[in-house]
Amino acid sequence: DTGVSQNPRHKITKRGQNVTFRCDPISEHNRLYWYRQTLGQGPEFLTYFQNEAQLEKSRLLSDRFSAERPKGSFSTLEIQRTEQGDSAMYLCASRPPRGLLGYGYTFGSGTRLTVV
């Protein structure tokens, strides 16, 4: 499978616990994006990487959220001290270097987080 892979697909956690999600982008894609989608809403941008550099973070990304892409390949998104408001689908997307295939992203199937 050459698509964007996200793990786990589902995560249920108790309020206050820490969770970590993983995203494996398409191998030749140097840009990687994290989005959050709540029920009935469109995806909202959280952060993105070009190779291993984190280039932009949304104001939605509070201090409890941290993302890494240590070797410019896979990425992790960690949420510390989870709150019920963090319940959402966390989507990862990637795209190739500019000039190839335009600006379209390829999204993974997401990690659905439920905080109880």
Partner 1 sequence: QQQVKQSPQSLIVQKGGIPIINCAYENTAFDYFPWYQQFPGKGPALLIAIRPDVSEKKEGRFTISFNKSAKQFSLHIMDSQPGDSATYFCAASKGVRDDKIIFGKGTRLHILP
- List contacts with partner 1 (CB under 8 A): 4, 31, 33, 40-45, 48, 56, 91, 93, 95, 98, 102-110
Residue 116 to residue 113: CA distance in whole angstroms: 10
Residue 31 to residue 33: CA distance in whole angstroms: 7
Q: Which is nearer to partner 1, 85 or 104 (CB)?
A: 104
Q: Which is nearer to partner 1, 10 or 81 (CB)?
A: 10
Contacts of 83 (CB under 8 A, 6+ apart): 15, 64, 115
CB of 79 to partner 1, least distance (A): 19
Which residue is associated with the tokens 């989507």? 91
CB of 43 to partner 1, least distance (A): 5
CB of 81 to partner 1, least distance (A): 27
Q: Which is nearer to partner 1, 79 or 93 (CB)?
A: 93
**What is the side-by-side order of every strand in the sheet holding 75-79?**
5-7, 19-24, 75-79, 65-68
CB of 5 to partner 1, least distance (A): 11
